[in-house]
Structure 1
Amino acid sequence: MAIVHVTSENYEKEVLQSDKPVLIDFWASWCGPCQMLGPVIEEVSEEVTDVKFVKVSTEEAPELAEKFSIMYIPTLVLMENGTVVNKSTGFLQKEQILELLNTKN
């Protein structure tokens, strides 16, 4: 499934109104670890079909980064029914991302 790029304009539709849990990848184009994490997220998104994967550029949507109190990137935020259920900062291996996703209800 394709990873959706989220901005303030489509945040409510893509994240809050999602019928699946949503993993948000907060990233920036200048961030090396973010660039390394991208392909790992892509791989996980192809295997895990019961979660929606979205990316939020902290450069293009600073208000969303502020809303989630993002201090460091990359940061992954797992949301379910509009509520944050897990959060992780820094580069993660595939297994660590799968573990993060297993905390959903």
Structure 2
Amino acid sequence: MANSSLPSSFDKLVAESDKPVFVDFWAEWCAPCRAIAPTIKQLAQDYKDRLLVIKVNVDEKPHVASKFGIQSIPTLMLFKNGQVVWKTVGAAPLQAIKTQIEPHL
């Protein structure tokens, strides 16, 4: 299951995680974000041993969204060793996400 709570230091989390970190930037009012939520949950379950999945509510953490230039949601990003290695904007099917992130795991 995706971790909906964000630690106090996002930078520390993505830099020090022993697994790649998959981030779903979303908001309650965003219909595509709500539509992709089950996909993100499934992704977290399927990759629970290989990937840390977190959700960042852009309304609650605007400084994090701003730092990464998030202008549209949902925006999905994959961090590895503190660096962004993959990013997409908009809802996507589970298999498409898996195909794109797999080389980074």
Normalised TM-score (structure 2): 0.90
Match of 2:16 in 1: 17
After alignment, is 80-89 or 2-11 more displaced? 2-11
**Which whole-Å CA distance do the structure 1 matches of 2:20 and 2:35 have between them?**
23
**Cα offsets for 1:45-102 (capped at 9, x unmatched):** 1111301100000000000000110010000000000000010000010111102211
Identical columns (%)? 36
After alignment, is 10-19 or 42-51 more displaced? 10-19
Distance 1:68 1:6, change over 3 A: farther
> Match of 1:3, as an amino acid?
A
Contact 1:85 1:103 (C-alpha < 8 Å) held by counterparts: no
Match of 1:58 in 2: 58
Match of 2:32 in 1: 33
Match of 1:79 in 2: 79
Q: Provide the alpha-carbon RMSD of the alignment.
A: 1.6
Q: Gapped runs of 5+ residues in structure 1?
A: none
Normalised TM-score (structure 1): 0.90
**Once superposed, which parts of structure 1, at least 4 consecutive aligned residues long, lie more than 6 Å away?**
none
**Which whole-Å CA distance do the structure 1 matches of 2:5 and 2:84 have between them?**
16
